[in-house]
Amino acid sequence: MTEKHATATGLVPPAAKSAPPSVHAPAPLLAKLPTVLGLLLFVAALAVPVLLFADDRYWLPIITRSLAIAIFALSVDLVWGYTGLLSLGQGLYFGLGAYMVAYALNLQKAAQERGGAPGTALTDFMIACRVEEVPAWMAPLANIWLAVALAILLPTIVATLFGYVAFRVRIKGVFFSLITQAMTLAVFTFVVNQQPYTGGIVGMPGLARLELFGHRFNSQVEMYWLIAGSLVVCFALCLGLVRSKFGKVLTAIRDNETRTLALGYDTAMYKTFVFAAAGALAGFAGALYTAVQRTVGPEEVLGIGFSIEIVILVAVGGRGTLIGAVIGTLLVMLGKTYINNELKQAWPIILGGLFILVVVFLPEGIVGFLRHALVRLRKLWPRNRSLVVSPR
């Protein structure tokens, strides 16, 4: 591997010494100014829905759910957009996080309706299936903080174990996509068949409202700010990850894993780490989604169609951009709501057609198209616009 090729990828071998900084390099604070301004603009944009729909009981909850799904889309973008791993079963980790919080809210609801301490009262689906007492493994989940911790930790562990095995044996491409899809289908089948402990195909409807730090989120505006604040934090963490040297290694793996491996990087460990981080992010998104929706079911969070739909959201917005994942989620989810209201049966066809159009005409998504358009405008704009008067 030549030094020229290593420089082209933005990477150097781990043992190589970095070159001294250039004298003309911009100041660190000045170089970070566009990123800071972009984040401030992003936060300001999130305040617009509250200003427009604060009293709207229909659209504000829909936008809030869309923001929770946007966090899930960020996890898909980390794996697919920056690492080149097309996971068609990322909903597995979203579903695990969703069910952990659903257990907590359902047990709290049972305690409020039937009395007793949370974790001791039987839920509706347990009573319907004639379960005599709350299982020992489920009772501690009545603590919302333990449920949230497990909603992040359990998907992380599952994603780490799967990623370590899959990437060590060099599973990639369509085989990786099919395996992730098969795992999600297996968990979906398990949840449906264990009705006494999961609610089966019906799931857990009518959950209690989320309560944190002694405060119950009764209003939609409060819930919106909780989800929007979580999205900002997750977006900033993902941005810091992809802008770091670690993120450059991920993009190098996406573009040419063989070359990155030849430079001395353990690509399997890099992919395992980002897959685990994406699993944690998806689990957290599932927990927030359940708190907003106040219901959970296997078809909604563990269905194969749901995982594929998230991939389409990222593709529409622009994979490998982070902000594209958020924009694509908001545009498609709001469009889905509007179209379902007008043409209920047409959405699957429209969604499939949208994906085909994006792949054919906008392979880099909306954000990628806008970036290329901006580059073209810069090239057309003259660099020196000063008027030069020729002597007579």
In this predicted model, what pLDDT tens digit does every residue of 17-73 receive, in sequence order? 444 544 444 555 566 666 677 778 888 888 888 888 888 888 899 999 999 999 999
pTM for the full predicted model: 0.87
Q: Is 256 exposed, middle or buried (0-12, 13-18, 19+ CB in 10 A)?
A: middle
Q: Which residues contact 332 (CB under 8 A, 6 or more apart)?
A: 312, 313, 316, 351, 354
Q: Is 153 exposed, middle or buried (0-12, 13-18, 19+ CB in 10 A)?
A: middle
Q: Are 206 and 112 in contact (CB under 8 A)?
A: no
pLDDT of residue 32: 65
Beta bridge partners of 204: 296
Residue 365 reports pLDDT greater than 90:
no
Beta bridge partners of 212: 215
Quote the DSSP letter at residue 16.
S
96 compared with 345, residue with greater pLDDT: 96
pLDDT of residue 390: 47
Confidence of residue 152 (pLDDT cuts 50, 70, 90): very high
387 compared with 216, residue with greater pLDDT: 216
pLDDT of residue 176: 94
Confidence of residue 10 (pLDDT cuts 50, 70, 90): low
Write down how long the chain is: 392
In a 3-state reduction of DSSP, which class is residue 215?
strand
Residue closest to 280 by CA, chosen among 153, 372, 366: 153
pLDDT in tens, 247-282: 999 999 999 999 999 999 999 999 999 999 999 999
pLDDT of residue 392: 43
Q: Are 93 and 321 in contact (CB under 8 A)?
A: no
Q: Give the DSSP H/E element, type plus range, for residue 206.
A: none
- The highest-confidence range among 6-10, 55-59, 284-288, by mean pLDDT, is 284-288
Token match 């960020």: residue? 74
pLDDT of residue 153: 97
Q: Distance between alpha carbon 1 and the CA centroid of its chain, in Å? A: 35
90 compared with 35, residue with greater pLDDT: 90
Instruction: Count the neighbouring beta carbons within 10 Å of the beta carbon of residue 320.
Output: 22
Cα torsion at 303, 110, 294, 346 (round to 10°)? 50
188 compared with 22, residue with greater pLDDT: 188
284-298 average pLDDT score: 94
Residue 381 reports pLDDT greater than 50:
yes
pLDDT of residue 387: 45
278 vs 389: CA distance, rounded Å:
59
pLDDT of residue 293: 92
* 305-310 contacts at long range (C-beta below 8 A, 24 or more positions apart): 306/91, 306/94, 307/87, 307/88, 307/89, 307/90, 307/91, 307/92, 307/181, 307/184, 308/88, 309/351, 310/69, 310/72, 310/73, 310/76, 310/90, 310/91
312 vs 318: CA distance, rounded Å:
10
Beta bridge partners of 216: 211
Bridge-based pairing state of the strands 215-216 and 211-212: antiparallel
9-15 average pLDDT score: 55
Per domain, the residue ranges of the chain are 57-303
Joined tokens for residue 341: 């209201």
69 vs 134: CA distance, rounded Å:
31
pLDDT of residue 84: 92
The percent of residues above 90 in pLDDT, for the chain, comes to 59
pLDDT of residue 102: 95
Taking only Cα atoms into account, the Rg of the chain, rounded to an integer number of angstroms, comes to 24
Helices 304-317, 91-114: inter-axial angle, 10-degree rounding:
120
The percent of residues above 70 in pLDDT, for the chain, comes to 88
Q: Distance between alpha carbon 359 and the CA centroid of its chain, in Å? A: 21
Confidence of residue 383 (pLDDT cuts 50, 70, 90): low
pLDDT of residue 14: 54
- The highest-confidence range among 49-53, 97-101, 307-311, 332-336, by mean pLDDT, is 97-101
pLDDT in tens, 69-87: 999 999 999 999 999 999 9
Q: Please give the mean pLDDT across all residues of the chain.
A: 86
Q: Which residues contact 218 (CB under 8 A, 6 or more apart)?
A: 209
Joined tokens for residue 361: 């005409």
pLDDT of residue 85: 93
CA distances from 40 to 33, 37, 71, 146 (A): 11, 5, 18, 32
pLDDT of residue 31: 60
- At 210, the amino acid letter reads L
